[in-house]
Structure 1
Amino acid sequence: MQDDYQVLEAAIKTAGKRAQAIRQSGLSVTTKSRQDFVSQADIAVEAELKKVIRALFPDDGFLGEESGLVQASKPEDCGVWVIDPIDGTTNYVQGMDYWCVSVAYIKHNEIQMGFVYAPDREEFFTAKKGQGAYLNGVRLTIHDPQKGQALLGLGRSNRRPVQAYCDLILMLDKQSIEYRRFGAGALMLAHVASGLVHGYFESHLNSWDALAGLLLIEEAGGQVTDFLKNDGLLNGNLVWAASPQLWEELRPWLGA
């Protein structure tokens, strides 16, 4: 399994570099929905990772943002690989560095492994359940911010009313809590684990955007909502993840 893990890590890095190369050579972009784009890079990266995963773990299932769900051969014994080939596609298309490849592995309704790779930033996050979270090989530990110093990452889902997002901004403003919205939920969750922000909230996130980052935060010592309840793997769910004290302080305000 260790050799397979190393092959998978290498494949994720190769896929991220391929996305960079495709962008440099010119993109063909089609619109899926408002502020949600798909490019040939999304499709190529997912296909490449799917091919490697099928070769390494032929009995496992697969859930990709672009290609949907393929059931495991024995669902009671096998896991599911969950992939977002490019999270932050709009940022990627615009030439910004805030995008990533996200890969997670689910088995027995628990997140077992998570990888988030941001090629433009040269950041490779990894986590295994019970074995810690790492950024470029350095172990991560989450610390609570000092009083008055909290900085939250936010996402806005257009599957939820815009008024709810506006109310959230007003609530944070009243509590003098700073916030940022960078447009790539998987990478913002990874940056909670590394301490760049102290928490991340989004009223609805898809599983391919959420799972790898949530494991990173848990393994770094943070707190997260139970994303997989109510069939979150297929339906998505609310996400609130943060350093432990901040998570408890804001949980009542965030409906988590």
Structure 2
Amino acid sequence: MKAAQKLQQLEEAIRLAGAKAQQLRQQGLSVDVKGKSDFVTQSDLAVETDLKHLLSQLFPEDGFLGEEGGMTEGVSGIWVIDPIDGTTNYKQGMDYWCISVAYVVENTIELGYIYAPDRNEFFMARKGQGSWLNGKLLQIQNEPEGQSIIGVGHSNRKPLQSYLNLLTLLDEKGIDHRRFGAGALMLAHVSSGLVHGYYESHLNSWDALAGLLLIEEAGGAVCNFLANDGLTKGNTAWASTQHLWPVLADSTF
């Protein structure tokens, strides 16, 4: 099977996984608590299992890293998946959640998919070939002066004070912020211009990689997330328009 046909099958599988998650929610969810404000449902497990099964058939030499299932080694690239980013939003019936799939080869993000089923938004990016939303090519534009809005996230792996310091700095610089509870989707929305940047002091790779490629391929600026073993340990995430990039490029909170 040709590579293009395999990727088409993957896109179809991501869409089907989104529909399955919607159906399971309608039927009623069982929710387990993994940590503070960190939940897992049967949909998280089902989506990851379905996608991992397909990927193992299409790309048997590749490895796999999933939020729920951990790492499976491979001899080629590695597929990095968050089956449902924004699980709290998802279980509450909000539309701000997504499925995120990225493909990494030799520390380079080659492919990224983010699908938000309730919003009917399917993002796709390919290294060196651009980013798309529902088939439309994306191109990031600098925001008008004084009208910057960035998405922010707070990780429980970092002290609350670091998050408060970030908000203080943004207020001092006159930059507005939004926190919607799904880092992967907020990164995708930087690529489409809904917000102008996204910062989180620590993000896991399954939340970050697809969105970062979307932004980079749409002409935005992104951090070197995979440095210092960001794939397995996570890292600070900062990505934005070229205009906003210097504001937090060297910041750590």
TM-score (normalizing by structure 1): 0.97
Provide the C-alpha distance between the structure 2 equivalents of 1:231 and 1:216, rounded to a whole number of angstroms.
21
- 1:50 corresponds to which of 49, 52, 63: 52
Provide the C-alpha distance between the structure 2 equivalents of 1:91 and 1:255, rounded to a whole number of angstroms.
27
For residue 167 of structure 1, report the CA deviation from its aligned partner.
1.1
Kept in 1, the 8 Å contact 2:140–2:193? The answer is yes
For residue 108 of structure 1, report the CA deviation from its aligned partner.
1.2
1:70-128 deviation digits (Å, cap 9, x = unpaired): 000x2xxx000000000000000100000000000000110000000000000000000
- 2:165 corresponds to which of 164, 167, 178: 167
Residue 255 of structure 1 corresponds to 252
Residue 239 of structure 1 corresponds to 237
Residue 157 of structure 1 corresponds to 155
Provide the C-alpha distance between the structure 2 equivalents of 1:196 and 1:168, rounded to a whole number of angstroms.
20
Residue identity matched to 2:39 = F
Q: Any residues of structure 2 matched to 1:1-256 within 5 Å, and which?
A: 1-72=3-74, 74=75, 78-252=76-250, 254-255=251-252
1:181-214 deviation digits (Å, cap 9, x = unpaired): 0000000000000000000000000000000000
Provide the C-alpha distance between the structure 2 equivalents of 1:167 and 1:132, rounded to a whole number of angstroms.
34
Aligned length: 251
* 5+ long unaligned stretches in structure 1: none
* 5+ long unaligned stretches in structure 2: none
Q: Look up the SS of the partner of 2:213 in the other structure.
A: helix
For residue 175 of structure 1, report the CA deviation from its aligned partner.
1.4
Residue identity matched to 2:68 = E
Select between 191-200 and 239-248 the one with higher mean Cα deviation.
239-248
For residue 171 of structure 1, report the CA deviation from its aligned partner.
1.1
For residue 255 of structure 1, report the CA deviation from its aligned partner.
3.0
1:129-178 deviation digits (Å, cap 9, x = unpaired): 00000000000000111110000000000000000101111111111110
Which structure 1 residue ranges, 4+ long, deviate > 3 Å from structure 2? Answer: none
TM-score (normalizing by structure 2): 0.98
Provide the C-alpha distance between the structure 2 equivalents of 1:3 and 1:108, rounded to a whole number of angstroms.
23
Q: Look up the SS of the partner of 1:255 in the other structure.
A: coil
Q: Look up the SS of the partner of 1:239 in the other structure.
A: strand
For residue 249 of structure 1, report the CA deviation from its aligned partner.
3.3
Provide the C-alpha distance between the structure 2 equivalents of 1:193 and 1:67, rounded to a whole number of angstroms.
28
Kept in 1, the 8 Å contact 2:238–2:248? The answer is no
CA RMSD of aligned residues (A): 0.9
Q: Look up the SS of the partner of 2:249 in the other structure.
A: helix
Provide the C-alpha distance between the structure 1 equivalents of 2:32 and 2:248, rounded to a whole number of angstroms.
38
